[in-house]
């Protein structure tokens, strides 16, 4: 199965790349980011931006989270596969030098180090779950390579009950091909996603890191179903 899944990699990565080239608007920080900051980073570890701690957003989109951290004093960097999103982020967050917001190849490289590394904090929200199991391992290794010892990571991952899985077909290597049109043709999904069955499975995925908190967030809109996603907060060993 792993061998056949590997043959599918270029197609799924290309499709996901095309998916994120679609026009969208998401300029605001999500609640699970600023609550994580207040309840964990600042409260548990005293990381509040006052020392200009270096933060990387892997899959930064239009930079909503980075804008939040930038205003707190953090030294912010972001990467994303969407050129349109990075262009918008550079336009919206003028305080962050353009060179610190970069477009990256959809294909992960386990040997990569982002921006010379040495990050204090890495966040990755609704990004890593677009990768196959084998490509996730490469991506998480590159993230690990980019963090200093003791650095913190906060990431989300699709949960098994997330409604999109019900509209998907399993193709191997952890991937589901999801094809779904929302009510009233509001939004069209044709992409590939990965899902974690439970907290134990999520912990295994992030085994490079010492787990601290494994939690979740959920929502439901227009009766489309649960948007359950796990969150992982851990420390580089």
| For residues 132-160, average pLDDT | 98
Residues of the chain with pLDDT > 70, as a percent, come to 93
At residue 2, the pLDDT reads 41
Task: Tell me the C-alpha distance between 173 and 233, whole Å.
Answer: 24
Helices (H) and strands (E) in the chain, counts: 7, 10
What total number of domains does the chain contain?
A: 1
For residue 28, is pLDDT > 90?
A: no
Q: Residue 164 region, left (φ>0) first, then alpha (ψ -120 to 50), else beta?
A: alpha
| For residues 99-121, average pLDDT | 97
Please answer whether residues 128 and 95 qualify as being in contact, where contact means their C-beta atoms are separated by less than 8 angstroms.
no
Determine the structural domain holding residue 148 and report its residue range. Answer: 2-236
What is the Cα Rg of the chain in Å? 17
Put simply, whether the predicted model's pTM sits higher than 0.75 gets the answer yes
**Could you tell me the CATH number of the domain that includes residue 183?**
3.40.50.150
| Helix ranges, the chain (H) | 2-19, 31-36, 42-45, 64-72, 83-92, 133-145, 199-205
pLDDT digits (tens, 9 = 90+) for 29-49: 899 999 999 999 999 999 999
């Amino acid at each position: 199965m792993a061998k056949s899944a590997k043959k599918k990699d270029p197609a799924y990565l290309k499709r996901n790349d095309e998916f994120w080239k679609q026009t969208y608007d998401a300029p605001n920080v999500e609640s699970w980011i600023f609550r994580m900051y207040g309840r964990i980073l600042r409260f548990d570890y005293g990381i509040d931006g006052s020392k200009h701690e270096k933060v990387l957003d892997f899959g930064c989109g239009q930079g909503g989270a980075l804008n939040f951290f930038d205003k707190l004093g953090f030294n912010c960097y972001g990467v994303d596969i969407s050129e349109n999103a990075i262009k918008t982020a550079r336009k919206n967050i003028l305080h962050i030098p353009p060179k610190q917001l970069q477009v990256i190849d959809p294909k992960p490289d386990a040997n990569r180090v982002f921006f010379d590394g040495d990050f204090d904090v890495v966040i990755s929200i609704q990004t890593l779950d677009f990768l196959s199991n084998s490509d996730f391992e490469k991506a998480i290794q590159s993230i690990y390579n980019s963090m200093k010892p003791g650095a913190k990571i906060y990431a989300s991952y699709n949960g098994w009950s997330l409604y999109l899985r019900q509209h998907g077909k399993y193709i191997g290597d952890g991937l589901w091909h999801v094809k779904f049109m929302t009510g009233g043709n509001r939004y069209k999904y044709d992409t590939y996603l990965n899902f974690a069955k439970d907290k134990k499975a999520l912990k295994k995925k992030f085994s490079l890191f010492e787990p601290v908190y494994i939690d979740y967030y959920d929502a439901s809109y227009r009766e489309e179903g649960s948007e359950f996603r796990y969150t992982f907060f851990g420390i580089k060993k």
